[in-house]
Structure 1
Amino acid sequence: MEDLAADLAERRIQVVRDHMALECVHDWDAVIATFEHPRYEMHGPGTVFDGEAAVRGYFAASRTPFPDQGNEIIAIAHAGDTVLVEFWLTGTHLGPLKLPERTVEPTGKPFRIRMAASFEFAPGGDKIVCERPYYDQFAVLRALELA
């Protein structure tokens, strides 16, 4: 029984590693395939992207200002039906950034902020049912000297 649980934990961790790597290379079809049901719950602004169309819209909107957005995993762990990841989110402001009150034209400035995310799995499953990134929503703006 322990071997089965360890195998499931290893598969889940690998799914999360693959998911995060695929986001960096914009292989959206493969990212979507890591989900049982695509869903992001953004802790910070509180925005929820539920379903494939909404998640693909999130990818497009978040990569327009930061087309080179990437991540560097610092730590990863499995607990229960969750994989927890701490990572550096990186990118360069190369496209228009839509803020509630204005659009900021590209500054060419890079950012690197520390974040965490939980990846939830259905009991016994190895497909993601929800990604929940945790971050300070103004950290990128401060890094770009816009706040």
Structure 2
Amino acid sequence: MSNEELRQARLQTVRDHMALECTQDWDGVIDTFEHPRYEMYGNGQVHDGEEEVRRYFDASRQSFPDQKNEIISLAVDDASNTVLVEFYLLGTHLGELKVRDKTYAPTGRQFKVRMAASFQFGPGSSKIICERPYTSPDLKLQQLGLL
């Protein structure tokens, strides 16, 4: 596979991954990974391996069952085997939300926060080995009127 073909394949993998998260096709999301792993750069949690990642999917959708994303821009860094994404994360607070040992009852309010994520790939591969979303949980809390 040429460098350009690999670049395009990685971009498509990230587009597919994010679209599958919106439809909650967890089997499809898992298939975009070589090894499922999320490193959350907002709360410091790491979800490593399929079982932990599926628990993360389930837990995150309990608070926001309609959570989805809208991609703003994508960029490829060939040198680091990374695709960078800027996006909006949206959802409606319909279930209990736990943040820093505090639980918030559902508000029915919606949020839309701007975020970034990096997707790490193995050398020569178009399968993800780690997603690292970057955000602050306070952004959601502010938009939900909880701070």
Of 33, 54, 57, the residue aligned with 2:55 is 57
Residue 98 of structure 1, CA deviation: 2.2
Residue 106 of structure 1, CA deviation: 1.2
User: Is the CA contact 2:71–2:87 (under 8 Å) kept in the aligned structure 1?
Assistant: yes
Distance across 1 between alignment mates of 2:83 and 2:138: 25
Percent identity of paired positions between Structure 1 and Structure 2: 59
TM score, norm. by length of structure 1 = 0.95
- Any runs of at least 4 consecutive aligned residues in structure 1 with deviations exceeding 4 A, and if so which? none
TM score, norm. by length of structure 2 = 0.95
Q: Please, which runs of 5 or more residues in structure 2 have no aligned partner?
A: none
Match of 1:125 in 2: 125
Residue 74 of structure 1, CA deviation: 0.4
Residue 137 of structure 1, CA deviation: 2.1
Give the stretch that moved more between structures: 103-112 or 9-18.
Answer: 103-112
Q: Please, which runs of 5 or more residues in structure 1 have no aligned partner?
A: none
Match of 2:46 in 1: 48
SS at match of 1:146: coil
Match of 2:140 in 1: 140
SS at match of 1:124: coil
Of 36, 56, 60, the residue aligned with 2:34 is 36
- RMSD (Å) for aligned C-alpha atoms: 1.1
The residue type paired with residue 113 of structure 1 is V
User: Is the CA contact 2:99–2:137 (under 8 Å) kept in the aligned structure 1?
Assistant: no
